[in-house]
Amino acid sequence: MDMLLTEIDHVAIAVNDLEAAIAYYRDTYGCDVEHREVVEKDGVEEALLRVADSYIQLLTPSREDSTVAKFLANKGEGLHHIGYRVDSCAEALESVKGHGHRVLDEVPRPGSRGTTVAFVHPKTAFGTLIELVQENPA
Ligand code: CO
């Protein structure tokens, strides 16, 4: 079959203090923030730090009932999900569903920085929350 994943889009890390995490990456590794966004629907604030053609995505809750707040309460800070870049989010999502694997998003939806995304359930993905990320022309 065709390879559906074209790049590691981002590695997402859940943190309690976004400013402290940004400072850590800036001061220790010289990483600058390329994009910041509050995704109100998901209850998260994110900062994207570019590494080559990929990003480190630092995530923190923007409200108490967000899934990232629950994640931090249950598991503490650390790896939250991995974003795989795809040419077509819809096509990749259909492949996941067509192979009988569980998804969190039945259909693609808007993500941050104008992307189209869908989340794949970690239960049938070997314990990793996966985000399929399709970049769209600006
Ligand atoms: Co993500």
Q: Where are the domains of the chain?
A: 5-134
35 classed as catalytic: no
Q: What is the pLDDT of residue 76?
A: 98
First-to-final CA distance of the chain:
30
pLDDT digits (tens, 9 = 90+) for 90-134: 999 999 999 999 999 999 999 988 999 999 999 999 999 999 999
Coil/strand/helix, residue 36: strand
Tell me what pLDDT residue 50 has. 96
State which amino acid sits at residue 34: E
Tell how far the Cα of 84 is from the centroid of ligand 1, in angstroms: 9
Is 134 among the catalytic positions?
A: no
DSSP string over 59-73: EEESSTTSHHHHHHH
Catalytic residue from among 45, 57, 80, 134: 57
> pLDDT tens, 41-90?
889 999 999 999 999 999 999 999 999 999 999 999 999 999 999 999 99
Expressed in angstroms and rounded, the spacing between residue 131 Cα and the centre of ligand 1 is 6
Q: Which class for 90: exposed (0-12), middle (13-18), buried (19 or more C-beta within 10 A)?
A: middle
**CATH number, span 5-134:** 3.10.180.10
